[in-house]
Structure 1
Amino acid sequence: MTAAEPNRGLIHFSPRSGWMNDPNGLLHYRGTYHFYFQHAPGSLVWDTMHWGHATSPDLVRWTEQPIALDPAIHPGDLWSGGGVVDLRNTSGLKSGDHDPIVVFSGTQGVRMFYSLDGGFTFTPYDGGRVIAQPSGRESRDPKVVWHEPTGQWAMVVWSDADGNGVDFFVSPDLLQWERTSRYAAGWFFECPDFTPMDLDGETVWVLRDARGSYVVGAFDGRTFTTAWTSPQTITTNPGAAGSDYYAAQSFDNVDRTVTMAWQGGNHGATWTGNASFPVEQELVGTPDGPRVLSRPVDEIRTLRHDTQSWPEATFSAGTHVLGEGCTAELEIAGASRACTLRIRGCFDVPVAPDETLRLLVDRGQLAVFSGLDYRCLNVDLDRRAAGDEIALVTDGPLRVSSLVLHQLRP
């Protein structure tokens, strides 16, 4: 990996070389997180899709693995899709010590591939035949989840039948699928993610699309219903494919909702695209209804070193250098007036009075968290930077109840 390249993230995954886009088949198995992704290994632009693969013991330290799905071996368009761990062996595919890991891909029909070695090599199921046929002329991006109340699997697939929307399928065994219903919405485009989440002790379902637009509703194992007439968005800067946040997917076989997205606005001489830093998400009640709250996964703590803190501090008007570094985590709370966090001399993040704001800084990426506000950004920091200083800027006397700067190991 050419880590010295400008804008190559040190706490954000990018492939050693080639193009990457959507996360695929994210799952956890026997202590290892598997991150598959859309990958054109020999190109810096979108090209014939493979499934790249990286693994991590903790969501923050990633090791790139050999290609998981290769069009020379695995049939069909290997576009975006989901993956599950078949812990119950509902498929009957288990042979040996490992539980089947099953992934789904394909356009204009869903194909299935399974692994019996813990998610490293995959075999096409039944020669790669289509196992589920969505409606419409175009369809893609199957995502599968276990539905505990009915003891069955549910699949959601985007298609263009009479406009944008998703088809729902159910299966007892991952092999035979019945199409049961459709959720149609003009705003819903590509890469569905479908997640059970807790809201005040009850399970509800969050259905989101590639831009991070989402609705909250109920799912009886066959049909998704919602009272929402329009969606909310995960980030406050949603964009189209290739933007700073797209096609986020949740991990299977974890006891929390963790997602990663594609950040398409970053590139170097040998690579294009990176993954967002993984976030944990929960539903919180607000006067306007339930909303998704995002925060960095707790495992970020293992990257921290050289921490500086300013509890109940006072700053005079001017620019105050807090430290230096191209990978850092900042948190500020209880500012008595509006102020600014200036990152490496070239990017300003405004801080409102009494706001609690958390910021992750990398060489070409920023993530900003403040209450329900989550911004996931590609920023050309390495090329624009006027040094590595991280500073607090205020136009007048400023008091803060807490200010913390953690340097982060790559």
Structure 2
Amino acid sequence: MPYDEPNRGQVHFSPRAGWMNDPNGLLHYRGMYHFYFQHAPDSLVWDTMHWGHATSPDLVHWTQQPNALVPGTHPGDLWSGGGVVDLGNTSGLKDGPEDPIVVFSGTQGVRMFYSLDGGSTFTPYDDGRIIAQPNGRESRDPKVVRHAPTSQWAMVVWSDADGNGVDFFVSPDLKTWERTSRYVADWFFECPDFTPMELDGETVWGLRDARGAYVVGDFDGRTFRTSWTEPQTITRNPGAAGGDYYAAQSFENLPDGRVVTMAWQGRNKGSVWTGNASFPVQQRLVGTPDGPRILSEPVDELRSLRTSTSTWETPTVAQGTTSIGSGRTFELEATLDLSASAAETFTLRLRGHHDLTYDVRAQQLDGYDVPVAPDGTLTLRLLVDRGQLAIFSGLAYVCRNVDFDSEAAGDELELVTDGPLRVRSLALHQLASSWVRP
């Protein structure tokens, strides 16, 4: 099947056909990235959930594989969950040359499935019995991570017991789980992600929910503690399920220790598919005067898609409208010296009709807070695709669905400014399609 329908992203994963939502069980195994996701293969709306499956050698070129978990074959509600690689065979399930890949799913109780063929097919553990039972009327979305200091596995599961929050479980072998503690927060709703991150040489833990709201704290292998009373958000545009950014999950077992996440973007669709995944971003903790914050950047593998680069050589852009190139799928990097500029606003006009306007005094881009650096410079990095737009600027990350191809307005990229604008650097990178065509 060709992947060149109007508004299907060329560097963003979407299913060959059918509906997709949350990422599930993201992991790396023997040189291959595995991206499992909520999938209704025969519907354009949310329906009976399968676990779809795609693989990539480099996080950018994806090949969709047969579904990994299928209703009827695999018991329980096959809703969102997580996965790990059992490199030490703590489960005792290894039977052959492959390490067990173990995934977890289920509502109102967690079920376990394991693969002995590198993540292609899965067997229900113990006939699909529930191996961990959170408190509350509703529970779902187990995420599992290795806690190295105690040589144990930790699981976090959302539930509605005594209000929104997550239950923590611990296990030596992925099969037997002890409930150890609970973190309660009104803001915390479904799809938890739990990730060790480095800050100033120390390991701290980030706990986030489906909307990308997060807190940072300590985890001793049994209990998570944080001094934060209010969360921060990963993106400048947090929203509900089916919006521009939801249910991000981090990859497990990455060989280089990076924290890499992908989210569900629900507002992109075509004649045969609905939904896409956000472009993978690397996330790290940085110190700020207000405390630790998560910084997001596109993974470096994006550079492998660049086919050509054009640069802007004129240091000052005059008032008015100036063409700075064209393209359908591209990356734009710009550093602007606002301290040496007279402009009060400037606009990047993408694909001939979509405007991103920066208000210099308010330090806002399209209504989102995007502050300049202390020296008066503003750095912008845009990833523009047929149905997607990602904006990166310091700590600011905006992840959106934009139907660029719904208006045949051309591919022109323009800079519109109400006064002279000083440009330190500007580069436009054209990007090749990342699709691996069968």
Q: Name which of 263, 266, 289 aligns with 1:264.
A: 266
Find 1:332's aligned residue among 334, 348, 363.
334
Q: CA deviation at 1:340?
A: 1.7
2:121 maps to 1:121 = yes
Note the alpha carbon deviations across 1:62-103, whole angstroms, 9 max, x for none: 000000000121000000000000011100111111100000
Aligned residue for 2:127, secondary structure, equals: helix
Q: Distance in 1 between matches of 2:377 and 2:353?
A: 24
CA contact (8 A) 1:82 1:144 kept: yes
Aligned residue number for residue 373 of structure 2: none
Residue 299 of structure 2 aligns with an amino acid whose one-letter code is V
Aligned residue identity for 2:409: A
Which residues in structure 2 correspond to 1:166-185 (within 5 Å)? 166-185=166-185
Match of 1:357 among 380, 391, 394: 380
Q: Contact 2:170–2:177 at 8 Å: present in 1 too?
A: yes
2:426 is aligned to 403
Give the 3-state SS of the residue equivalent to 1:294 in structure 2. strand
Contact 2:308-2:429 within 8 A present in 1 as well? yes
Distance (whole Å) between structure 1 residues aligned to residue 249 and residue 335 of structure 2:
30
Deviation track 1:176-231 (CA, whole Å, cap 9, x = no partner) reads 00000000000000000000000111000000000000000000000000000010
Kept in 1: contact 2:383–2:391 (CA 8 A): yes
Matched, 1:345 2:352: yes
Q: Secondary structure, in 3 states, of the residue corresponding to 2:229?
A: coil
- Check whether the contact 2:153–2:173 (CA below 8 A) recurs between aligned residues: yes
**Does 2:390 match 1:375?**
no
AA paired with 1:251?
Answer: F
Q: What is the TM-score when the length of structure 1 is the normalising length?
A: 0.98
- Deviation track 1:141-180 (CA, whole Å, cap 9, x = no partner) reads 0000000010000000000001100000000000000000
Q: Which runs of 5+ in 1 are unaligned?
A: none
Map 1:4-403 to 2 at 5 A. Answer: 4-254=4-254, 255-311=257-313, 313-335=315-337, 336=341, 337=343, 338-351=345-358, 352=360, 354-403=377-426
Contact map agreement 1:312 1:401 (CA 8 A) in 2: no
> Could you say what secondary structure the match of 1:382 adopts?
helix
| Distance in structure 1 (CA, Å) of the matches to 2:67 and 2:328 | 30
Q: 1:190 & 1:326 partners in 2: Cα distance?
A: 35
TM-score (norm 2): 0.92
SS of 2:150's partner is coil
Report the alpha carbon displacement of residue 309 of structure 1 after superposing the two structures with TM: 1.1
Residue 312 of structure 1 and its aligned partner are, at CA, apart by 6.0
SS of aligned partner of 1:133: coil
Matched residues, percent identical? Answer: 76
Letter of the 2:134 partner, please give it: P
Matched to 1:46, the amino acid is W
Alpha carbons 1:311, 1:401 under 8 Å: kept: no
- Aligned partners of 1:293 and 1:15: how far apart in 2? 28
Number of residue pairs aligned between Structure 1 and Structure 2: 410
Structure 1 contact 312–402 (Cα < 8 Å) conserved: no
What does the per-residue CA deviation read over 1:24-73, in whole Å, with 9 as the maximum and x for residues that have no partner?
A: 00000111000000000000000000000000011011000000000121
* SS at 2:215 equivalent: strand
Secondary structure of 1:107's counterpart equals coil
Matched residue type, 1:341: L
Runs of 4+ that moved beyond 3 A: none
RMSD: 1.1
Counterpart of 2:191 in 1: which secondary structure?
coil
Query: Structure 1 residue 317: deviation in Å?
Result: 1.9
The structural deviation recorded for 1:385 is: 4.3
CA deviation after TM superposition for structure 1 residue 264, in Å: 0.4
Task: From the superposition, tell whether residues 312 and 221 of structure 1 become closer, same or farther in structure 2 (CA, over 3 Å).
Answer: farther
How far apart, CA to CA, are the structure 2 residues paired with 1:349 and 1:197? 32
1:359·1:366 contact (CA, 8 Å) conserved in 2? yes
Q: Is the 8 A contact 2:312 2:324 kept in 1?
A: no
Query: 2: CA distance between counterparts of 1:295 and 1:384?
Result: 29
**Kept after mapping to 1: 8 A contact 2:4/2:10:** no
TM-superposed deviation, 1:355: 0.8
Counterpart-to-counterpart distance in 1, 2:266 and 2:42: 17
Q: Which amino acid is 1:284 matched to? A: V
Aligned-residue offset at 1:2: 4.3
- The 1:312/1:224 distance shift into structure 2, 3 A limit, reads farther
